[in-house]
């Protein structure tokens, strides 16, 4: 178990060293998306995953397939409350919209709720929305008021209408071409199906600029922010200043994508060079260091398993308090029944929340995973609608797993690894179950009983969602008891809303004041000697009896650790253990079941260099 903890901690250290070196803090808090092509996955599926980055509460929605009356419309755009003010408008709805699974939320940049970043539809088209800031000159061109669908409208339209990832790009592009685009400064989407992926960038301004790049079966991509590689010169029609006509294009774009850059003096067609999309239109000329590092990691992992991909998506480098949820889809070729398309969803940031499998065949969501007032837009200024009374009375999964994050990340080195271990273990069991779950549902569908198959899938996903929630509640209860027993929770100061969220890196550790007589005893122990010291409040213990351990004058490394070991055992032999991460304080163990002589040992910096020890007897 300690080796697993060490692997997690080593990853935490390298992760946050990398982000400190490669990115500024201002860009560390943002939506992200990952893609792994089918040639690079363990089972030949296409993997896509990631999360949004919004301050509001998030809830699961399963939107049914719907037929619409002739002349039906949908409302799109932004209001005057948006970061860049705009006007709402109506655009035509299609005759039939597809079923899809998504996480909705109520607040981002003043846009009207409900909002979505995408999800998975019945044709196994998956979508992710990711930030992608445009260059300053384009942002200066945003009209006031702006009109046209915004990022959430486009994500929802793609889920409702697309049967392939490429079609999602074409649909979104056509909507922008006809109705314009409302923006908060530039945006992107990542779409995937069982064959390929596409990254699509929508630019700020009033020119309706967009571009998309195909991702093949042998490629990986991290959008953080969304980016597109340079368009090769042989893909450009320099005479007409458009993309060249190709049977199977690697790039798609608005008709004015090349010509507009020429008009602005940002691209010289006479040079006959590749069109460097990032240098011409983006706020950053190159992909972020974090994106490059994660792409290298994914290539090194190949063939990537579903469990490994989940670990990448929940990496605390990018999954943190500002991350509203987590999503992972493994898109399968030759899926006989669309009801078996599956989206794994973490109800809040997956750094401390489990991925739950939700099938397209599911028809209902447990009330604990539906919308609640916690962090809902304007909830503080309005009273509850009586229609929501019972739903609001239930536990809210988003809030439960947010509480787990706040506790676990108060000391990420000590608490986060044990939470991660619980999540991974829970998910490993779910992954193992999927083959049998799908086989049962497939037999029902083959027999023509689609209703019973849907009831079975709904029961399964709902049951496992509640099992995951119970696990989260247990983890919260355990950390709550431990932290409140040993520490004083300080009275906060300042504005509760004036912050950037919780930091789950090792540097996010909160310096808590230990409480009670043992804290005073630990302080007194430090005053009696300058040497590293370990002491216990008794010399003899009964099997299973609590052992209160005091330590003083340690090195204060984050991964200094205490353990109980047999007295004659070598230093690399240990029993129960815990990180201390301080120069002094106290900890609690339980006496081993077997009588004998034991030592409480203090080691430095996750190694076996003995700093101090004391002997106890169990009888």
Q: What is the pLDDT of residue 514?
A: 64
What is the structure's pLDDT at 24? 37
The answer, yes or no, to whether residue 19 has pLDDT greater than 60, is no
Q: How far apart are CA 287 and CA 221, in angstroms?
A: 10
Across 227-241, b (16+ Cβ under 10 Å) vs e yields bbebbeeebbeeeeb
Range of 11-15, 22-26, 394-398, 500-504 with top mean pLDDT = 394-398
pLDDT of residue 581: 77
Residue-level pLDDT at 13 = 44
**pLDDT at residue 1 in the model:** 47
- The pLDDT of residue 516 is above 70: no
**Residue 513, pLDDT above cutoff 80:** no
Per-residue pLDDT tens over the stretch 225-249: 999 999 999 999 999 999 999 888 9
Q: Give the total residue count for the chain.
A: 619
pLDDT digits (tens, 9 = 90+) for 324-369: 899 999 999 999 999 999 999 999 999 999 999 999 999 999 999 9
Please report the pLDDT score of residue 342 as a whole number: 98
Structure confidence at residue 483 (pLDDT): 85
Question: Quick one: pLDDT at residue 12?
Answer: 46
pLDDT at residue 504, as a whole number:
86
254-265 exposure pattern, b = at least 16 Cβ within 10 A, e = fewer: bebbbbbbbeee
pLDDT of residue 26: 35
Residue for token pair 């076996």: 608
**Model pLDDT for residues 99-134, shown as the tens digit of each residue:** 999 999 998 888 999 999 999 999 999 999 999 999
27 or 418: which leads in pLDDT: 418
Handedness of CA 166, 168, 172, 178 (dihedral sign): positive
pLDDT at 18 (0 to 100): 40
Tell me the two tokens of residue 274. Answer: 């590749």
Instruction: Give the whole-angstrom CA distance, residue 333 versus residue 44.
Output: 8
């Amino acid at each position: 178990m300690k080796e697993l903890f060490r692997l997690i901690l080593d990853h935490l250290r390298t992760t946050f060293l990398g982000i400190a070196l490669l990115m500024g803090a201002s860009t560390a808090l943002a939506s992200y998306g990952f893609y792994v092509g089918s040639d690079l996955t363990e089972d030949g599926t296409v993997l896509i995953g990631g999360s949004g980055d919004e301050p509001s509460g998030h809830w699961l929605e399963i939107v049914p397939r719907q037929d619409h009356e002739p002349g039906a419309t949908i409302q799109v755009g932004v209001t005057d409350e948006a970061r860049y003010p705009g006007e709402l408008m109506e655009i035509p709805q299609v005759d039939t919209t597809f079923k899809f699974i998504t996480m909705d939320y109520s607040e981002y940049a003043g846009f009207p709720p409900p909002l979505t970043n995408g999800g998975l539809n019945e044709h196994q088209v998956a979508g992710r929305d990711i930030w992608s800031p445009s260059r300053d000159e384009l942002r200066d061109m945003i009209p006031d008021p702006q009109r046209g669908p915004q990022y959430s409208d486009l994500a929802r339209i793609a889920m409702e209408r697309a049967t392939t990832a490429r079609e999602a790009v074409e649909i979104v592009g056509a909507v922008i071409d006809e109705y314009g685009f409302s923006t908060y400064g530039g945006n992107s989407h990542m779409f995937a199906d069982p064959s390929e992926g596409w990254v699509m960038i929508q630019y700020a301004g009033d020119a309706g600029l967009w571009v998309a790049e195909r991702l093949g079966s042998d490629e990986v991509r991290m959008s953080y922010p969304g980016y597109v590689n340079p368009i090769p010169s042989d893909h450009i029609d320099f005479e007409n200043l458009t993309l060249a006509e190709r049977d199977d294009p690697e790039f798609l774009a608005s008709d004015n994508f090349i010509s507009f850059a020429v008009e602005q003096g940002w691209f010289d067609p006479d040079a006959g060079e590749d069109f460097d999309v990032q240098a011409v239109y983006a706020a950053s000329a190159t992909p972020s260091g974090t994106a490059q590092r994660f792409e290298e990691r994914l290539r090194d992992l190949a063939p990537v398993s579903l469990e490994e991909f989940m670990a990448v998506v929940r990496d605390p480098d990018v999954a943190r308090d500002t991350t509203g949820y987590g999503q992972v889809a493994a898109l399968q070729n030759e899926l006989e029944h669309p009801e078996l398309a599956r989206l794994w969803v973490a109800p809040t940031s997956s750094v401390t929340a489990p991925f739950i499998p939700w099938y397209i065949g599911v028809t209902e969501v447990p009330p604990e995973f539906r919308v609640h007032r916690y962090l809902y837009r304007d909830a503080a200024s309005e009273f509850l609608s009586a229609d929501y009374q019972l739903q609001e009375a239930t536990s809210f999964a988003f809030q439960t797993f947010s509480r787990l994050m706040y506790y676990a990340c108060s000391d990420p080195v000590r608490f986060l690894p044990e939470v991660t271990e619980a999540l991974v273990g829970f998910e490993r069991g779910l992954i193992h179950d999927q083959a049998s779950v799908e086989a049962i549902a497939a037999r029902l569908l083959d027999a023509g009983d689609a209703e019973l198959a849907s009831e079975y899938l709904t029961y399964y996903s709902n049951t496992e969602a509640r099992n995951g929630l119970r696990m989260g509640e247990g983890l919260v209860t355990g950390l709550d008891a431990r932290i409140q027993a040993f520490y004083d929770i300080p009275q906060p100061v300042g504005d509760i809303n004036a912050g950037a969220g919780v930091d789950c890196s090792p540097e996010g550790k909160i310096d808590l004041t230990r409480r009670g007589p043992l804290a005073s005893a630990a302080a007194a122990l430090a005053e009696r000697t300058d040497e590293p010291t370990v002491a216990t409040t008794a010399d003899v213990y009964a099997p299973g009896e609590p052992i209160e351990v005091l330590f003083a004058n340690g090195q204060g490394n984050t991964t200094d650790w205490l353990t109980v070991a047999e007295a004659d055992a070598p230093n690399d032999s240990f029993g129960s253990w815990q990180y201390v991460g301080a120069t002094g304080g106290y900890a609690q163990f339980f006496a081993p079941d077997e009588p004998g002589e034991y030592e409480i040992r203090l080691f430095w910096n996750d190694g076996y260099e003995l700093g101090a020890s004391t002997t106890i007897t169990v009888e």
